[in-house]
Amino acid sequence: MSLSREEYLPNISYDSVIFGFSGEKLKILILEYHNMKTFALPGGFVKVDEDLNTAVHRGLSERTGLKEVYLEQFYTFGSMDRHNPEIMGRIMKEQGHSDPDHWLLGRFVTVAYYALINYENVTPKPDELSDSIEWYDYDHLPMLMMDHNKIVDKALEHLRTHLDQKLLSINLLPDRFTMKDLQLVYEAILGEDLNRANFQRKMLSLDILERHDKLYSGGSHKAPFLYSFKKKTKT
């Protein structure tokens, strides 16, 4: 990937809030520019002959190896105070680019997306401008570049209000899971405890789960059923 001027649309970028979960805490994928002590959301640019959505999927795939992940676009940020050519210039200089008129130093309107994945399935790779990429607990995010903390907040707000509708598209759980697993996902995302009995009733009433054999975990108690999501029905 060359980031040459002719290949990409100028002034347009995307940023992605990649939520990760693995049975316990909600995490987010964050890029770091080590020498700069600067943190940022993973993002990218749109090729001149490429769909916006394709570009975002391509970027996620390059960083995580994951394909066919559900990505939800939730807002486009376009205020002038996003423009910070100084810090961008320093990041590029660290990596050996020093053209003072480089298109990356311009002002960007960024389209923001979020995704939800099981972070144990993934070993993230940094891009050509960053030094590393790591999972951070949502509760302990570092200070991010420009307006990226606000972007994270808005992503989570959007996810919380649309969680039920997005459930089927979520890539957080293995094919088969227990009701307890599912409840843990909900509690991590919503940030609050839920009543077990009512949660079970609600999930079953949504009519999106298929019940399978029981899981004999070796625990000295009743074995839980395993569930999977029903295939989406074409309407």
Partner DNA sequence: AATTATTGTTTCTTTGTGAAACAATAGTAA
Partner DNA sequence: TTACTATTGTTTCACAAAGAAACAATAATT
Residues interacting with a copy of itself, by CB under 8 A?
A: 9-12, 46, 48-53, 73, 75-80, 107, 109, 111
If we measure between CA atoms, which residue out of 104, 16, 11, 14 comes closest to residue 52?
Answer: 14
- The helix (run of H) or strand (run of E) holding residue 40 is strand 38-40
Sequence-ordered list of residues with C-beta below 8 angstroms from that of 117, at least 6 positions apart, any chain:
18, 19, 20, 64, 66, 69, 171, 172
Residues numbered 133-192 forming contacts with DNA, rule: CB under 7 A: 178-180
Binding at 195: pick from DNA, a copy of itself, none (beta carbon under 5-8 Å per type): DNA
- Cα torsion through 93, 94, 95, 99, rounded to 10: 0
83/214 with CB nearer DNA = 214
Q: Rule CB under 7 A: is residue 200 a binding residue for DNA?
A: yes
36/194 with CB nearer DNA = 194
Q: Which two tokens stand for residue 59?
A: 């970027």
Sequence-ordered list of residues with C-beta below 8 angstroms from that of 54, at least 6 positions apart, any chain:
none
Q: Rule CB under 7 A: is residue 104 a binding residue for DNA?
A: no
Q: Rule CB under 7 A: is residue 100 a binding residue for DNA?
A: no
Report the alpha-carbon distance of residue 13 to residue 74 in Å, rounded: 14
b/e code 33-50 from CB counts within 10 Å (16+ = b): beebebbbbbbbbbeeee
When binding is defined by CB under 7 A, the residue of 98, 219, 233, 234 that contacts DNA is 219
Residue 42 near residue 33 (C-beta atoms within 8 A): no
Span from 2-10, 125-133, 147-155, 210-218 in contact with DNA (CB under 7 A): 210-218
b/e code 139-149 from CB counts within 10 Å (16+ = b): eebeebbbbbe
Binding at 36: pick from DNA, a copy of itself, none (beta carbon under 5-8 Å per type): none
Binding at 84: pick from a copy of itself, DNA, none (beta carbon under 5-8 Å per type): none
**Min CB(228)–a copy of itself separation in Å:** 28
Binding at 223: pick from DNA, a copy of itself, none (beta carbon under 5-8 Å per type): DNA
Binding at 11: pick from a copy of itself, DNA, none (beta carbon under 5-8 Å per type): a copy of itself
- Which stretches of the chain bind DNA, using CB under 7 A? 178-180, 195-198, 200-202, 204-205, 214, 216-225
